[in-house]
C-alpha cells in the first residue's frame, strides 16, 4: 500500500491533535506521552515505571479515550491467577437444559489493556501475558483465539525496590517495545495538578482518532524511509551494549547481558514513529538517539559489580549514545 504526501501530512496533523488533547488533561509528562504514542504507532507495548501517584494509570486511560479504543484495566495482585486474565471455559445450560462449555473472555480481549502494577503479580500470572503480547493470540485448553486489532498492553509498575513486588522475567520485559520512566512533576506542574483536581475546573476529553485510523497510521509508519547508515548506526549502538562485542570498558566491566535483535527492532520502529509524529518521512540520527534509552534500558542486565558501583542502564546508555555521536569509545 502506497500513501501520498498529502495523506502523510494529514495523518501527522491528526496525531498532533491527539497529542494536544492528551496534554490538555495530563499535566506535564511530555516524554511519557510522546513515547506512549510512539509505541502505539509502532504497534508495540509499553512499560511505564514510576512511584505511586504520578499519573501512570490516568495517562493510559486518557490515551484510550482520545483514540476511541475499547479499554480494559487489570489490577494485578499476588493472588491473581492466569485465567483471571485470559478467561476460561465455563459450563452453561441452554433453554433446553443441555449443558455445554462456553468460553468466557477475560479482560485481555480489548484493544487497549492497562496492566496496572504488573509487578505485584506472581511470575506465573505475569507469564499469562506473554503469548498475547508476542503473538497477539491467547490459547486456552488448546483453543487459540486472536486478539482484537489494534491491540496494546500498556503496563505500569512500581520500582522493584518497593515491598510486595516481583521483578518481571527477562522474556516478558523483552516483549515491551519501550520502558518509560515517569518523573516527579515540577513545581509549576504540581500547581496545575492541584487546580485541576481540587478546584472547580472541569476538563472533558474528546475523541480525535478511531481504531481504523490508528491501524492506517501504523501502516504509514512502516513505510517511513530509513537509510542504511541510520540502520548501521542503530546496529552499532545495540552491539555496543554487548560485553563480547563492545569497545566500551564500562560495558565489559559492568554489564552481564546486553541487548539483542529485539532491541534493534524496537529502536527502528520507535524512530520511525517519532519521525512520523514530527511530520517527516525519513528517520534521522536524532530520532535514533532520542529513542535509544527507552528502547534498550530494560534489555540491559548489569552484573553485581555494576550495581555495587551505582551504575544504571540509563547512565550507561546515555554514555554509549554520546560516544556513538562523537565516534569515540566510552
Which is it for the CA torsion 190, 192, 193, 199, positive or negative? positive
The grid coordinates of residue 121 equal 503479580
Delimiting residues of CATH 1.10.8.80 domain(s) in the chain: 225-330
For the segment 3-15, the average pLDDT, to the nearest whole number, is: 84
Q: Which pTM does this prediction carry?
A: 0.86
Q: Is the pLDDT of residue 161 over 60?
A: no
C-alpha closest to that of 160 among 179, 175, 144: 179
**Count of H helices and E strands in the chain?**
15, 11
Delimiting residues of CATH 3.40.50.300 domain(s) in the chain: 1-79+110-223
In CATH, the number for domain 1-79+110-223 is 3.40.50.300
**Which pairing describes strands 112-116 and 152-157: parallel, antiparallel, or unpaired?**
parallel
Question: Binning pLDDT at 50, 70 and 90, where does residue 203 land?
Answer: low
Architecture, CATH, for domain 225-330: Orthogonal Bundle (1.10)
> How many Å apart are CA 37 and CA 42, to the nearest integer?
8
Q: Is 236 exposed, middle or buried (0-12, 13-18, 19+ CB in 10 A)?
A: middle
DSSP-derived 3-state class of residue 190: helix
**169-173, 221-225, 324-328, range with greatest mean pLDDT:** 221-225
What is the number of other CB atoms lying within 10 angstroms of the CB of residue 14?
15
- How far CA 225 is from CA of 10, 34, 208, 276, 321, in Å, comes to 18, 20, 26, 10, 22
- How far CA 104 is from CA of 72, 92, 239, in Å, comes to 15, 10, 45
The grid coordinates of residue 12 equal 501527522
Q: What is the pLDDT of residues 275-296, one digit of tens each?
A: 999 888 899 999 999 999 999 9
**Which pairing describes strands 143-146 and 137-140: parallel, antiparallel, or unpaired?**
antiparallel
C-alpha closest to that of 31 among 16, 44, 48: 48
Higher pLDDT, 160 or 288: 288
- Return the bridge partners of 138, or none: 145
**21-35, 56-70, 146-160, 216-230, range with greatest mean pLDDT:** 216-230
Q: What is the pLDDT of residues 38-68, one digit of tens each?
A: 999 999 899 988 877 677 778 888 888 888 8
pLDDT at 41: 92
Amino acid at each position: 500500500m502506497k500513501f501520498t504526501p498529502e495523506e502523510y501530512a494529514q495523518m501527522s496533523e491528526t496525531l498532533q491533535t491527539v497529542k494536544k488533547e492528551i496534554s490538555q488533561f495530563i499535566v506535564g509528562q511530555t516524554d511519557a506521552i510522546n513515547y506512549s504514542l510512539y509505541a502505539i504507532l509502532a504497534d508495540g507495548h509499553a512499560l511505564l515505571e514510576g512511584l505511586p501517584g504520578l499519573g501512570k494509570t490516568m495517562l493510559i486511560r486518557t490515551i484510550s479515550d482520545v483514540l476511541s479504543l475499547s479499554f480494559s484495566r487489570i489490577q494485578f495482585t499476588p493472588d491473581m491467577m492466569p485465567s483471571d486474565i485470559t478467561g476460561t471455559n465455563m459450563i452453561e445450560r441452554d433453554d433446553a437444559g443441555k449443558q455445554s462449555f462456553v468460553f468466557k473472555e477475560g479482560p485481555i480481549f480489548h484493544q487497549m489493556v492497562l496492566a496496572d502494577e504488573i509487578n505485584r503479580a506472581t511470575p506465573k500470572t505475569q507469564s499469562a501475558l506473554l503469548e498475547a503480547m508476542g503473538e497477539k493470540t491467547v490459547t486456552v485448553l488448546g483453543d487459540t483465539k486472536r486478539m482484537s486489532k489494534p491491540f496494546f498492553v500498556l503496563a505500569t509498575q512500581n520500582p522493584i525496590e518497593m515491598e510486595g513486588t516481583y521483578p518481571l522475567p527477562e522474556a516478558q520485559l523483552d516483549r515491551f517495545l519501550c520502558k518509560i520512566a515517569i518523573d516527579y512533576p515540577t513545581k509549576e506542574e504540581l500547581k496545575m495538578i492541584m487546580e485541576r483536581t481540587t478546584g472547580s475546573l472541569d476538563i472533558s476529553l474528546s475523541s480525535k482518532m478511531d481504531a481504523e485510523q490508528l491501524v492506517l497510521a501504523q501502516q504509514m509508519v512502516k513505510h517511513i524511509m530509513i537509510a542504511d547508515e541510520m540502520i548501521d548506526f542503530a546496529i552499532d549502538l545495540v552491539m555496543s551494549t554487548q560485553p563480547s562485542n563492545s569497545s566500551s570498558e564500562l560495558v565489559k566491566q559492568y554489564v552481564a547481558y546486553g541487548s539483542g535483535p529485539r532491541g534493534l527492532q524496537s529502536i527502528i520502529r520507535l524512530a520511525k514513529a517519532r519521525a512520523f509524529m514530527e511530520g517527516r518521512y525519513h528517520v534521522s540520527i536524532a530520532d535514533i538517539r532520542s529513542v535509544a534509552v527507552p528502547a534498550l534500558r530494560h534489555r540491559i542486565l548489569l552484573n553485581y559489580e555494576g550495581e555495587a558501583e551505582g551504575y544504571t542502564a540509563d547512565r550507561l546508555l546515555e554514555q554509549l549514545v554520546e560516544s556513538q555521536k562523537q565516534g569515540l569509545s566510552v
